[in-house]
Structure 1
Amino acid sequence: MRKLFYITLLLLCAHFDGQAQLNKDVYLFAYFKNNGQDGLHLAYSHDAYQWKALKNDSSFLKPSVSKDKLMRDPCIIRGADGLFHMVWTVSWKDKGIGYASSKDLINWSEQQFIPVMAKEEGTRNTWAPEITYDSGTKTYMIYWASTVTGKFPETASKMEDAYNHRIYYTTTKDFKNFSETRLLYEPGFNVIDASIVKDHGKFIMFIKDETREPVQKNIKIAYADQLIGPYSTAIEPITGNYWAEGPTTVKVGKDWLVYFDKYRDHQYGAILSSDLKNWKDVSDRISLPKGLRHGTILIIKQKELNLLLKQ
């Protein structure tokens, strides 16, 4: 009887340990390569530093919407409904974004084109959309960078094709009905690549200061009490003496880890902070798939990764 008891106990322990492993958190990086023409790429990590490409670094979803049919800057979040919701840049010069959803990151819904800037006369582009969920209002906010001809002339430049971006947004509860597009962030400078996370009741926006004259090209932070703002002025850069863009962040224990594209150097960088004020460069500690471009990090479970590993 005693032997049977110990065998049963060992089996139970093995079962619960197996369940715990299946529910263990895994970091997932959604990204694109080249010009985004072949679609969604995914990589995973157990420590948020060392990343391995999935599916031999081939596409999980090929783009099908808009004239240009690109899938740049993919952003995926897990929604309150349990689905994965993704938005992306469909074109260099379109007035809308792409959207699709999935239960498992493998099988995706029909791709939709959301014309978020269609009513804004003079819109030149709709770049790097992201989604953040507000549990307080049970609302998703989709936001992106656009240049609208004639707006904000005080920060206009003739350099870099005279782009002069600001961050715009729309809200939705079901990804079928969307609010009117509004201006989200006007920091007094050319701004792109907003990425917003919530922490202890505050909303933290990581953005790129795109100013060319005098050159900035760095990552900064703004804060707000509500997801739709108003957000504070972003002043001090948190990145170093190089051009950086496309920030995405993940909390690893008590530390903030921010990834970004050192695009002029053709490499990725990462910085670490426990207080969002003092930052340490940890670029020498990271390893990413070759050719990885702008993307976002989310957290999935080991059982979800196991399915992805079979692809």
Structure 2
Amino acid sequence: MKTVLFLLSMMFGAASIGAESSKEHYLFVYFTGNTTTQQQICYALSSNGVDFIPLNGGAPVIASDTIAIMKGVRDPHILRGHDGWFYMVATDMDWTKGKWSNRGIVMMRSRNLLDWEHHTVDFHERFVGEAAAKVNAVWAPQTIWDPSVQKYMIYFSLHSEKKGPYPQDAVYYTYANSDFSDVEDVPRLLFSYPYPTIDTDIVVDESGMYHLFFNTWGGPDGLLRRQYTFVDLYDQSKWTLVEGRMQPNDIASEGSCVYPLAGGSWMLVYDCFESGFCQFCRSDDLIHFELVKNTSTTGTFTPRHGTVIRLTQEEYEVLKQKY
């Protein structure tokens, strides 16, 4: 039981398990499209975890040209830290400059979700002389607290030219430094898979089991969302691959985010990039998912690949008043 409580505290932050139940609102952080003006960080709020209302009239709340080398960001991931900080990472990229125009990530942290410290990590400069300096894509970074080393682990997919060190997309990890302004070491492979892998999301359930969701393509079944379950984050030989697709239909999708609902179940949201909307699916066991809602293809809330965290009433009101 002590192990379970420790893992939960690491996943949800410094607040106690009881305090977590007070977080009955939700913040969705996302970008909206492939033009330069759409590759910005946007916020939306919800009181049930599925019906979101965009803040700031749907306009960005953080301008990419103030935080990113490429003046555009995609795939923002937000995490409530265990230490009172909120952490955000994003792909430093402008799609209009080409699919392989991404050389690094943006790292950010905030105490209040309003004011963000920000730093960029250009892999070509940061890892001179290493294989990681040859990447042309560092996609969809995400952060998780690793209690085994007492550090924030950042994981992402890497890709290079076909004759380079990363000819096939695969997921790697490194650790953030103490003030979340840089990464500490050369990326290491998190897990291997026969086909390209991107857009990985890791959550921990109440038993302490990790659930790792990822996208893959190129195999006999085409584009798939798959899942591993495990208790050892670094020993793939002990991981279990869950059979089947982790969504209830065959729509091409990417960028999954799984988050706990206040009622005790879970929500999976993913970007149906070819169809122009996101889908929300509910699960009681993180294995079986049922479609709940599609976002609209028009209007002010048209999210692309993003993430959701739970908020307190006070945090919810602060954001509503600000934006």
Given the two structures, how large is their TM-score scaled by the length of structure 1? 0.81
| Structure 1 match to 2:31 | 32
Q: What code does the residue aligned with 1:25 have?
A: E
Aligned residue number for residue 54 of structure 1: 55
- Residues 1-311 of structure 1 mapped to structure 2, 5 A cutoff: 23-35=22-34, 37-38=36-37, 39-63=40-64, 64-91=66-93, 92=99, 93-109=101-117, 111-116=118-123, 118=127, 119=130, 120-150=132-162, 164-172=168-176, 174=178, 175-176=180-181, 178-199=184-205, 200-209=207-216, 211-212=217-218, 214=220, 216-230=222-236, 231-233=239-241, 235-239=243-247, 240-252=249-261, 253-283=263-293, 289-311=300-322
8 A contact 2:31–2:305 mirrored in 1:
yes
CA–CA distance in 1 between the matches of 2:106 and 2:144? 16
Residue 33 of structure 1 aligns to a residue whose secondary structure is coil
- The one-letter code sitting in structure 2 at the alignment partner of 1:305 is Y
Higher alpha-carbon Rg: 1
User: Comparing 83-92 with 56-65, which one deviates more in the overlay?
Assistant: 56-65
Change over 3 Å in CA distance of 1:219–1:99 after alignment to 2:
same
CA-based RMSD of the aligned residues comes to: 2.7
What is the alpha-carbon distance in structure 1 between the residues aligned to residue 26 and residue 272 of structure 2?
A: 21
Q: Does structure 2 retain, via aligned residues, the 8 Å contact 1:168–1:182?
A: yes
| Contiguous gaps of at least 5 residues in structure 1 | 1-19, 157-162
- Equivalent pairs counted in the alignment come to 280
Post-superposition shift, 1:178? Answer: 1.3
Gaps of 5+ in 2: 1-18, 94-98
Residue identity in the other structure for 1:237: R
Structure 1: distance between partners of 2:121 and 2:154 = 11
Is this contact kept in 2: 1:246–1:294, CA < 8 A? yes
- Partner SS for 1:307: helix
**Secondary structure of the structure 2 residue equivalent to 1:275:** coil
Query: What is the deviation of 1:263?
Result: 1.3
SS for the counterpart of 2:318 is helix
**What's the secondary structure of 2:185's corresponding residue?**
coil
Q: 1:44-98: per-residue Cα shift (whole Å, max 9, x none)?
A: 1111111111121222111234542112111111112211111001115232100
Matches of 1:55 and 1:67 in 2, distance apart? 24
Deviation at 1:218, TM superposition (A): 2.4
Aligned partners of 2:235, 2:300: CA distance in 1, in Å?
35
If the length of structure 2 is used for normalisation, what is the TM-score?
0.78
